[in-house]
Structure 1
Amino acid sequence: MTKPNVYVDVNVLQTVPSSNINRDDTGAPKTALYGGVSRSRVSSQSWKHVVRAAFKADNIDVGTRTKEAANLLFKALQQLDSSLDDDAAKAKVAEIFKTAGIKLDKNNETGALLLISRGQINKLAQYALDNEELDKKELKKVLKGDQSLDLALFGRMVADNPELNVDASAQVAHAISTHEVVPEYDYFTALDDEQGEDQTGAAMLGTIDFNSATLYRYANINMRELVANLNTKDAIHGATDFIKEFALSMPTGKQNTFANKTLPSYVMVTVRTDTPVNLVSAFENPVMSDHGYMTPSIERLEKEYKATLSLVDQPLLTVVLSKNDAQVGDQMANLTELLEKVSATLSEVVQDENTND
């Protein structure tokens, strides 16, 4: 009998001071209407981008999202076979992309950004050198295998050939403030240093929009999908890598202006076998306070967590890292302990896609 699927929920509460970490088309911080009031919002795409950057900084395998995949393959071919001249390499590249069903334009670029791992590029090059005649099914295997962690987590869409799509194993919600946010702006001026102290007027002036907020952030991982994209060992390791980088990363918009880098005040990770659960309903009625939002936000979140237990199964694991005493789950001393606890639990319950009890 096949074991049930396993889902990992990651809930984060984080206070961000005056900042503009994710801007809309007018340059103002993004917002959302929730519970009848305006909230600060940070898009899921923005947070996934910085998670990918954090993976790269920590030497975790990441792919590249580019229109220049053909050029990368061209370089890989010549690195593997230095005797291959430019024309022969270009011909092989064109044949590979045509057989795979991916269109190239006159500039030898894909029509849309393509997320591809370095392993896939190298395997494609080796396959092309080893086989005079290309097989579409074999190319599909190459382009679906050797996935980098970001590709396995966030997936890939290939409009030219949906067979090459990769289903995402992680979902990341837009972060929103637990309370109402009123937009603010900073009026600034700058003087010309070469004009001396007696200059009148300003050489430059402008405004910057900003806000401050206590954000609720949520993401989940479908472990069955992550195992299918990677393998059991790498999936478990990748899940804890994602939890760490999701918790510690922050979008960098206007960071030099506001120096707004903070750390979470509360992290709760839950391992479930029935369904992922976003606890944002805790804040549908916005938190109201004149002495800080974090403590009442934690209380709301833990109350919502308890309320969900009447609707879903008891989680296999709930661990919390908090500046306050946790009222749910097991409180961890630090992030390392939390990640080790999650890893140990996943090692017990996660299995290979094709393995039965």
Structure 2
Amino acid sequence: MTANRTIVEIHILQTMPPSNLNRDDTGSPKKAVYGGVTRARVSSQAWKRPTRLKFRELVDPNQLGIRTKRVVEVLTDRILRLDPAIDPETAQKAAQSVLQDAGGIKLAKPRSVKKTDDADDNVNEPDQSTYLLFLGSHQYDDLAAIGKEAIASGGIKDFLKNKDVKKRVKGILQNDRAIDVALFGRMVADDTDLNVDAAAQVAHAISVQRVDFDSDYFTAVDDVKQDSDEEGDAGAAMIGDVEFNSATFYRYANVDVDRLLDTLGDANATVQAVTAFIDAFSTTVPNGKINTFAHNTLPDLVVVNLRDTQAVNLAGAFERPIAGDVVANATKALVEREQEIDAGYGTTPVHTWVIRVGKDTEAADQLAARQPLRDVLTELGDAIASRLVQE
């Protein structure tokens, strides 16, 4: 194992009431078979999205990325912000050329728009990238500055096809310092030079116990018909059903702090990224069917480990489904698994922090004394900063 690594991992036990957090293509809650029994499952993507959106409240938006196909529209807006006197159509042409001619980004008309033979007609409807593109806000600003230069040159396409200009644009696209892009990564199949390796890994959440799935039959009554029907026929105007389950989930994620620093190139930004990730991952839930179930819970238990060896997923604690007092027994199983793994493989964390609620999670005190989330984030940030300075 490599010494002096810095890896932060988070283990969560979280009880969800009846809910449908993450649906499959039939509308049913996702599931998995683990330890020979059916478990409730929430995909990593379903929890990463609310985590990433929470960053908008925790981090300066200028330090974040924008994931969209509407890249031309976003860049056009940035060019107009630099100089509102520029004609919007000219700004749009410059934006398209910056991305496509200089940047090599594949663009196409939106599917809903039929391309005409008249080029002027097509200008009003911006092209879109053929895939979701995750670019940092600062990158758009830098690209907008080049777009403004292209407009001022009097020949947009000729300016942007210049070898040196194309090199500048490529450099901007590759040198992404957005916090969420660095954490979650970026894949561009058409240009692997633009790929960013994710510093964070997020596991699919699975229930610690065997879970049965239920269905909620519902009706919707027509208010006007109910009030006016003389025959008293207040029959439903709509009927249906919603599948759901309830479970205590084991959630796990880790952040390779060294890889994150390599991408961001700044120790302070790296500390901010890690603490924001732990904060957001701990306090968000997927919003699938949330208006129906209002499943806004917070974790029963959060264990944060700072390791210098390797990341360790403790899902094996629940290979045998938990029964009885689920949270209490799951906490004991998690603590036992971590202690035995660390003893057997020499992976004992440099430091551990515990945030917990209620008596059922008391077993976690064997790992570390209970603290509030805010204090944990402060201490974690200080610990990471200290290690990065030493390196």
When normalised by structure 1's length, the TM-score is 0.92
Q: What do the CA deviations read for 1:43-80 (whole angstroms, capped 9, x no partner)?
A: 11111110122112345433221111122112222221
Over the matched positions of the two proteins, sequence identity in percent amounts to 38
Which amino acid in the other structure matches residue 186 of structure 2?
Answer: R
5+ residue gaps, structure 1: none
Does residue 144 of structure 2 align to residue 125 of structure 1? yes
Counterpart-to-counterpart distance in 1, 2:59 and 2:308:
31
Aligned to 1:46: 46
Matches within 5 A, 1:227-306: 227-230=261-264, 231-289=266-324, 292-306=325-339
Aligned to 1:205: 239
Aligned to 2:75: 73
SS at match of 2:312: coil
Counterpart-to-counterpart distance in 2, 1:157 and 1:196:
54
**Residues 192 and 128 (structure 1), Cα distance of their counterparts in 2 relative to 1, 3 Å cut:** closer
Counterpart-to-counterpart distance in 1, 2:215 and 2:18:
10
8 Å contact from structure 2 (residues 21, 289) kept in 1: yes
Counterpart-to-counterpart distance in 1, 2:329 and 2:9:
21
CA displacement at 1:171 relative to structure 2: 0.7
Counterpart-to-counterpart distance in 2, 1:71 and 1:155:
23
Residues 7-16 or 96-105, more deviating: 96-105
8 Å contact from structure 1 (residues 332, 338) kept in 2: no
SS at match of 1:350: helix
Which amino acid in the other structure matches residue 225 of structure 2?
Answer: Q
CA displacement at 1:200 relative to structure 2: 4.9
Residues 220-229 or 294-303, more deviating: 220-229
**Residues 321 and 189 (structure 1), Cα distance of their counterparts in 2 relative to 1, 3 Å cut:** same
Aligned to 1:161: 191
Does residue 57 of structure 2 align to residue 24 of structure 1? no
Counterpart-to-counterpart distance in 1, 2:236 and 2:144:
58
Aligned to 2:257: 223
Which amino acid in the other structure matches residue 63 of structure 1?
Answer: G
Q: Which has a greater percent of helix?
A: 2
SS at match of 2:239: strand
- Tell me which of 97, 102, 105 is aligned to 1:102: 105
**Residues 205 and 103 (structure 1), Cα distance of their counterparts in 2 relative to 1, 3 Å cut:** same
SS at match of 1:264: coil
8 Å contact from structure 1 (residues 117, 147) kept in 2: yes
8 Å contact from structure 2 (residues 267, 388) kept in 1: yes
Residues 89-98 or 275-284, more deviating: 89-98
Q: What do the CA deviations read for 1:130-160 (whole angstroms, capped 9, x no partner)?
A: 4744534322321233532211110111122
Aligned to 2:155: none
Which amino acid in the other structure matches residue 330 of structure 2?
Answer: S
8 Å contact from structure 2 (residues 260, 270) kept in 1: yes
Computing the radius of gyration from Cα coordinates, the structure with the larger value is 2
CA displacement at 1:7 relative to structure 2: 0.6
Aligned to 2:203: 173
Matches within 5 A, 1:292-331: 292-309=325-342, 310-323=344-357, 324-325=361-362, 326-331=364-369
Aligned to 2:381: 343
**Residues 128 and 328 (structure 1), Cα distance of their counterparts in 2 relative to 1, 3 Å cut:** farther
8 Å contact from structure 1 (residues 302, 327) kept in 2: no
Does residue 147 of structure 2 align to residue 113 of structure 1? no
CA displacement at 1:9 relative to structure 2: 0.6
